[in-house]
Structures are given as structure tokens and as C-alpha cells.
Structure 1
Amino acid sequence: MKAALVLAWALIAAPAAAQDTASAARMAAARLAEASAQLDAAEAARDRVAALTETVRAYEAGLAALRDGLRRAAIRERAIAVELDAKRDEIAALLGALQSMSRAPAPLLLLHPAGPLGTARAGLVASEITPALQSQAAALRADLQEAADLAILQQGAIATLEEGLAGAQSARSALSEAISERSDLPMRFTENPVATALLIASTDTLDAFASGLAQTVDAELTGSAPDATDRKGEIPLPVQGQVLRGFGAADAAGVTRPGLVIATAPRSLVTAPVAATLRFRGELLDYGNVAILEPAAGVLVILAGLAEVYGRTGEILPAGAALGLMGGDPPEAHEILTETAQGGGAPRPETLYLEVREGDAPVDPGTWFAPG
């Protein structure tokens, strides 16, 4: 929380080039404060899970805002350096003229060897030149001050980064622990673990596994299944990231898949994008850890590639509930500073695969989700 608040102050106090990130930083700080208040007030395990989920999201938003602010600051600092280097000769001439004027006694500046007429003419010329010189000097001073402020902003970010990264990791660990203790979510059905194990062993494709999921249900417990049909086409993506490949797009090897490949930062939080029944969670084929959600009757949302998956099969998850975490190791503070100093954005080495199936066939996730 302190890291995001310091971040907001630093960006607000920064030059105009970094001002456009101040709003995002203030929003991140507000989300941290809200999550912290929820956590302090939580008594039931469910409240604690919700508060920790918001805390992790707020840390992700704050760190993303910090990365963006530092990247913009680095780009602006380099732009100023390039401009000053291109005007090296002009700046030297300007400084020479200003230095000559500052060293000459004031009375001598008002005299001219040609006499009164020359002095009058020289005065007119000086009255035209002096404001221009002052204007150029002011612009040069402003550029140098902005460059210095940007350098200070970047140098002072190390402590904020370290605190933010440590806080995010603590929040993730606490969230995993809280979810492991949670037992108050409604159950849609109970799973038959033997049938699930047999299904995993007997199938070699995602299609076959998804088609056989019905046989893993041991007993129906409730008739109030979620139905997100009215939100079709408006559901947000389950993780903060960037869509690398769309529905049916080929990868570098020419392999096509009927889903989205979303690039994410390491240890990103994956959440249920809409209320849904957790139909399956665990390792599956070569997809790594998989979570399969049922947001409406006959509709499955498959999320593959997670490092950790939360919840119990059969649970009805509310929208925004934590589903798991992506893999990878978060970068150290000095690595982030190096990336932003080079003008690069946050690397996204982890990928989440998202597939939507209606009945026994995959459909374009864009019909349900709003990737933008």
C-alpha cells in the first residue's frame, strides 16, 4: 500500500512528460487502500479471500503504472538528450554570448566606438537580441531541469519497486493460504475422482476430455447453476495481459488452436471472469494446470497454462473469484529499472490459453469475451 502511495506522489511531482501516469497511480493507490481496509475488517474466510484478491489486483495495477511511468520518463529523458546533442553548436554559441554579456561592465555595453549614433543603433540591436537570448536560455534551463527531475524520478524508484514487489508476493501467499481454508462456497455437484482419473488416462485430446466431463459428476447438489448468457460478448478476460494469437491463428510452428493465447506477466492473478461452476481443475495432457469453468448450461471455458489452480471441483465461483496464478519468477527491482531505462515495457513471458466450447465444438472466444 505504501509503495503505491509513494508512486502516486512521485508521478504527480514529476515533469509534464510523466504526468499522464499520475491518474493511474492514484487509482492503484486507492485500490490498495480499499483492499487493505477490507482485509483489516474481514472476519470470515470468504471476506478475507475477497480482500486479498483485491490486494493482489491493486499491486499488479500499481506496479504496471510504475513501469509505464518509468518507461515514459526514460523515453522523455533520452529525447531531451538527443535534442540537446543536436543543438550542441547553438547552445555553445548561446552560452558564449551570455557569458560575454555577463562579463562586460554595464556602462561599456551601452557605448559604441562610432559615437552616439552607433550607440543608439547598438542599443536597438541589443533590445532585439536580448529577449531572444533570454528566451533560449530559459528553454535550455527548462530542458536541463526536466532531465534532472526525470533522472531523480528513476533513481528514486528502486525502493518503491522493492516494496511493491515484496507486498505483491506477500499478498499472493496469503491469498493461496486463505483459499485453501475456504469452505463456504456453494457446491453445484460432487466430483467422482475415480471417474475423473479414468477420463484423464483414457483421453489424449482436449476435445475428448471436454466431451467426457459429464461422466465425472457423482451427484447433483443444487439446481441454481450460473447462467452468463445475457453477458455474452461483454465478459472481460480472466487475466491482465495482451492477446498474442486469436481464434484459429497459427503460431510460429504453423500450429493452429481454436482459442486465444494471452501473454501475461509472471505470477499474474487469474480470476473467474463471470460467475461459473468449476467443472475441473488439475494437470491435463500437455496443457499444464487447467481450470474448466461452466458459465452457462452446455458452455465450457477452458483456461490452460496456470502454475497454481485454486478451488474445488463442483464449486460455484462468483465473478472475480481467484482461480490461480501464472508461473514464472517476478523480475527484481533492478531488472525492471534496466528494462524501463531502455524504454521497454513490461515483458510478458507467460501465456494463458483460453478456449470456449459450446456443446462439443469450440467457438470463437470473441463471441463471449471482450478482449479489448
Structure 2
Amino acid sequence: MRAEPFSIAIPDEDIAGLRQRLRETRWTPAGPYEPWQQGVDTGWLREFVQYWADGFDWRTAERRLNQQPQFIAQVDAQRVHFVHRRGVGPKPYPLVITHGWPGSFFEFYGLLDLLCDPAASGAQAEDAFDVVVPSLPGFAFSQAPAKPGTSAFQVADLWAALMRGLGYERFGAQGGDLGAGVSIALALRHPQVVDGIHLNFLPGTYEPSRAAGDAPLTEAEQEFLRAKDQWAALEGGYAHMHTTKPETLAHSLNDSPAGLAAWIAEKFRAWSDCDGQIERVFSRDDLLTNISLYWHTQSMGSAIRMYWENRLQPLRFTAGQRVSPPVGFARFPKEISRPPRSWLERTFDVVQWTDMPRGGHFAAMEAPALLAAEIRNFFRPLRR
């Protein structure tokens, strides 16, 4: 495998074209409802879009993105974009971190210093990591899959080949959202090279064995499944669309930057520990850096197709099937799904479990110091 250095350089005409589209947005009339009651608030979105058109400086964001070492590699038949940050310490431990939707590799920029150079923030230099943050296939600058079939399992195989190509014989994995599914698949399919996985989310497609002879569901597990169904009924419309008709939705999101901003920003508000004040947790510039990555790469359509693929290849376990590498889990209070420990223990060897004091679905952006400490603690005894 050959990895070539990569820098982001969006053409000037693309930036100008985006600004023109934003300024010419045809706005939907607001309805007679409370702000955010039926989705994104129109008043907030209009101000946000105006800032994107006239206040946000993509070139500043681009320089920030390019401060981290990025590469493009041909892994098997797939072109993969990734950040590869070397650790500062006596023996940095290799760790692959996988993002989800509607995030991107940018989610982890606030986490990289804490993991790669822990001594700079008062932690132990012995806890340093070599961190690899790939963009999922079809996200940002990673090539979209050329044929059907790329679910979390196939991405796990890609990541194992990527890490091997970078010279890592063994490594750990971390992830939330779609990245949690990839991390689980890595541990399931490549236990000979994966020392352990740390998660801050349990994918909705995860289903432990419930065969005859398995332990009956506990009261906490039953309540979790009820809450999961209720959430899916009230909040899961996006996921149902992604998993059933992604191509229909893709045309709208690829054509309208205002629509793209609405589709993504509403989730950052709803899924984070912000008490309804999205900009209390995420700056406009950070939100727009992430959204702009989808826009400038025209990757929303290929990104949401992964939901379709994961539906066809769910993380469903059979009787007696278990994941052998150890698992750590950080359960954040405002996460969209909060399984009990026993639900994971039906499949995983859970050696670290922490109920976090604050944070939500975008933990690496909301509470990077807390998440970094959890990751360091989990992998400390697994280092070779």
C-alpha cells in the first residue's frame, strides 16, 4: 500500500457557487408552531445560512483542516482518505478512530492533541497514541464504493488492511455512531490484530442472541428496548429514509445547501448535550466546517447509502457468538441510545464501563477531554 500526502484545496469557483446558491435560497414559509417543534427552526436556519454565505471563511477552515497530516491511499480497490497523526511519547500505541453520520473526520480534531501528545495537557506521555482517522467510504475525500455491499463489515476489512499497510501489526479501535459498528466489526472479524475496542455508542443494528436458553431480558433491558422503539417512532424518520430511499433524498441534499444545513444541524442540536442551544456547544464555524465538507465533496448521497448497506448486513449475533477482544463503553447522558451494561455483556467482554457526567452523541466535539481520558484508561493495560 502506498499513501500519498493530501491537502484540501477547494476551487474558488466552488466557493463562489455555494455563496450564490445560499443567497438565492427559496425559503419555506414558517408554520404556526413553536421553534424546533417540527424540525429545524426557520428563523435560526435563515441566520445560519446568511452567516454561511457572508461570514464563514472556508479558507480559514481549510487551513485548519490541513494542519493535521492527511493522506490518500489505495486500499484494495478503494481509495481512502485519512488523517495519520504520530504520537509524542516513548511508544505510541496505534488506534484507528471511525466517525459516523452526520459527522466526518473533522469530529476528532479536538481529540487529536489529547491522544497524540497527552503530556502537553498534563497526562502521561506513556499514554500517547498514533491515531489514524479514516473517512468512511463515500464520505468527504474517500472514494464512494463502486458497487453495492459496503457495510460496516467491509469497512472493517478495509481498516484492517489500511492499518497493516501503515505498518501496525496490532492496534485498537474506537468509534461512535456508524464508527461504533465498524469498530465492532473489526473486533469480530479481525480479533488476531485488534487488541480491544472502545465505544461511545451502540449501533441500532446490534442485536444479541435471544435464542432459547439465553438469559431472559432484564427489566432494564426491556425498558431500553421500549425507549429505543419510542425514539425510532418520534425521531428516527431520517434513518428510515436513509435505509429505504437514500437516492431520493440525495438529490435534494446535493442540490440545496440550505437543505443540507437543515438536515445536519438539526441533528447536532437534537442529539447533543446543549439544552436546545446548539451554539452553546458547537460554534457556527465548526458546524459549517463539517457541513461544508459534505457540500464541497458532494458526498451526502454516498454517505447515507451506508445506512442501506448496514440494514442488509446488521450486527446480529447467533446463539453463543461473542466478540473476543475486550470492550470499553462510555455512556453519555444525552446520547440517543443508552443501553444497560447487561445488554452489551450478552455479546461482549465489557472490562470498562463509565456513565459520563455530560455530553451527547458527538462526544469527541462536546467533551473531548472526558472522552480522551476514557480512551487512555481503557487501552493502558492493552498496550504491547
Scaled to the shorter chain, the TM-score interval is: under 0.3
Name the TM-score, length of structure 2 as normaliser.
Answer: 0.22
Name the TM-score, length of structure 1 as normaliser.
Answer: 0.23
